Every structure is written in structure tokens, then in C-alpha cells.
């Protein structure tokens, strides 16, 4: 079980710059697994089919498992520098894809290493960094008459709403740190006089 890990705050971010007429565009995404990383990489490749290179690097959540690709750039000048930025920041569960449109001026090996490292860092800075810890996923069904009050109380307990389903009752799917969940669970029991109860449905991760 992963106790905690560092990742980007925004699920998706991008940043770009021009270096000697070559455009570098960094795309950063928080990922759950390798399948999600591959899907993200392919989506950027499809978006920039006309680009000269679509370089990638990623590290799987809470692990040292990592992959990178130079995508046609000289070996070791693109994917590895991007991956090293992720490692230097202590990140995991993060994928970066850097698109390059060649501007006609060669950068040399050192120039490429610096440019791809810069692009990766810019993308990560745009996304922000936080430590992620286990959160509890849970749900509660409440009468419509109680919904407005409960909805207003959720921010006080730092509860994140995932989904709200309006049927015979209102079913609210949420997530929160364990300590906040415990407090909110007690509030629900007291406010509804025990008629509504929070039910744990799983686990996810969220920022500290």
C-alpha cells in the first residue's frame, strides 16, 4: 500500500517556450498507472502529428518504475533529461510529454539536454507540486430536506464531492482525509439523528 507520494497538483498543465526558433511544449499529467501514461502520450502524439518530436518521461505512482523516450532526438538528450527533472523533484505518478517543432537551427547535444530539462521543469512548475496521502472514498444518502444544509457544511470539513445523484433521496459520493471523514461522519449521524450514515466505498489520494 502506498502511504504517501509527491505529485503535481493540477491533473493537467502545459507550458511552452522558443529556443533558437524551435518551439518546445511541455504537457504534464498526474497518472494512476502505466496504462493512463500511455494513453496520455498517445493523445499528445495525435494532437501534434506534425511535430518533429514528441518526447516523454514518466514515473509510476509511489515507485521507482520509470520510462522515457528520446523519440528520434540523439540518444540521452531528451527523454532522460526530462525524467531526471521528475526524479530531482521527487515526483511519481506523473507523466510529461514534450513536443518539439524544429526551427531549423541545431542546438547540439548540450543545448537539447538543457532545452528538454527546461521544458519539463516549466510544465511541472505550472502544475505545482504537493504531497499526496490516502483519502477515504465514501457516500451518504440523505433526504432532499437535508441536502442544502449538508452541502453547506462539506467545505467546513474539507470534504470533496465526487458525484451527486438525485433520486428518491440524494446520494452524495465524496472523498476526504481520514480524520476529516471521521468528523463529517459524526456530523451526519448527529444532524440526521442516525437516519443517514456514511458508507466507505474505497480509497483514493489527495494533497496534504
**Which domain CATH number covers 156?**
3.30.70.240
Of 127, 151, 185, the last residue of a domain is: 127
Span 12-30, mean pLDDT? 97
Q: Tell me how many helices (H) and strands (E) the chain has.
A: 5, 10
**C-alpha distances out from residue 172 to 139, 182, 204, Å:** 5, 16, 16
Please tell me whether residues 138 and 175 are part of one structural domain. Answer: yes
Span 3-18, mean pLDDT? 94
Choice between 145 and 1, residue whose per-residue pLDDT is larger: 145
- Tell me what pLDDT residue 158 has: 96
* Mean pLDDT, all residues of the chain: 96
Of 112, 127, 142, the last residue of a domain is: 127
Please tell me whether residues 21 and 123 are part of one structural domain. Answer: yes
pLDDT digits (tens, 9 = 90+) for 85-97: 999 999 999 999 9
- Tell me what pLDDT residue 98 has: 98
pLDDT interval class at 62 (50, 70, 90): confident
pLDDT digits (tens, 9 = 90+) for 118-132: 999 999 999 999 999
**C-alpha distances out from residue 190 to 47, 77, 148, 183, Å:** 52, 60, 16, 11
pTM over 0.85: no
- Tell me what pLDDT residue 3 has: 80
Residue 105 has what DSSP assignment?
A: -
**Which domain CATH number covers 94?**
3.30.230.30
User: How far is Cα 155 from Cα 84, in angstroms, rounded to an integer?
Assistant: 38
pLDDT interval class at 2 (50, 70, 90): low
Please tell me whether residues 104 and 175 are part of one structural domain. Answer: no
Span 178-187, mean pLDDT? 96
Span 13-41, mean pLDDT? 97
For CA atoms 67, 123, 44, 35, the dihedral sign is positive
User: Exposed, middle or buried by CB within 10 Å (0-12, 13-18, 19+), for 114?
Assistant: middle
Question: Cell numbers 527533472 label which residue?
Answer: 85
Residue 41 has what DSSP assignment?
A: H
Please tell me whether residues 47 and 140 are part of one structural domain. Answer: no
User: How far is Cα 92 from Cα 47, in angstroms, rounded to an integer?
Assistant: 25
- Tell me what pLDDT residue 138 has: 98
The residue segments making up the domain with residue 199 are 134-207
Upper half-sphere CA count for residue 76 (Cβ side, 13 Å): 2
Please tell me whether residues 66 and 146 are part of one structural domain. Answer: no
pLDDT digits (tens, 9 = 90+) for 93-113: 999 999 999 999 999 999 999
Residue 1 has pLDDT above 60, yes or no: no
pLDDT interval class at 47 (50, 70, 90): very high
Count of domains observed in the chain: 2
For CA atoms 70, 16, 123, 119, the dihedral sign is positive
- Tell me what pLDDT residue 61 has: 92
Q: Are the C-beta atoms of 60 and 2 separated by less than 8 Å?
A: no
Cβ burial 120-148 (10 Å sphere, 16+ → b, else e): bbbbbebbeeeebeebbbbbbbbeeebee
Residue 33 has pLDDT above 60, yes or no: yes
Amino acid at each position: 500500500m502506498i502511504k504517501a507520494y509527491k505529485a503535481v497538483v493540477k491533473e493537467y498543465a502545459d507550458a511552452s517556450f522558443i529556443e533558437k526558433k524551435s518551439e518546445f511544449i511541455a504537457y504534464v499529467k498526474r497518472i494512476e498507472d502505466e496504462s493512463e501514461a500511455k494513453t496520455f502520450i498517445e493523445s499528445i502524439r495525435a494532437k501534434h502529428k506534425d511535430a518533429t518530436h514528441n518526447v516523454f518521461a514518466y514515473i509510476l505512482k509511489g515507485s521507482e518504475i520509470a520510462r522515457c523516450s528520446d523519440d528520434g532526438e540523439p540518444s540521452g538528450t531528451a527523454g532522460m533529461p526530462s525524467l531526471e527533472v521528475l526524479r530531482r523533484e521527487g515526483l511519481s505518478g506523473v507523466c510529461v510529454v514534450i513536443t518539439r517543432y524544429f526551427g531549423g537551427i541545431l542546438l547540439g547535444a548540450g543545448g537539447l539536454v538543457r532545452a528538454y530539462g527546461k521544458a519539463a521543469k516549466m510544465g511541472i512548475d505550472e502544475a505545482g507540486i504537493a504531497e499526496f496521502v490516502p483519502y477515504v472514498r465514501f457516500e451518504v444518502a440523505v433526504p432532499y430536506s437535508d441536502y442544502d444544509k449538508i452541502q453547506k457544511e462539506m467545505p467546513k470539513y474539507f470534504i470533496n464531492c465526487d458525484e451527486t445523484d438525485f433520486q428518491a433521496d440524494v446520494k452524495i459520493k465524496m472523498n476526504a482525509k481520514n480524520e476529516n471523514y471521521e468528523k463529517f461522519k459524526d456530523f451526519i449521524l448527529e444532524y440526521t439523528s442516525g437516519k443517514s450514515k456514511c458508507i466507505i466505498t474505497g480509497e483514493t489520494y489527495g494533497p496534504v
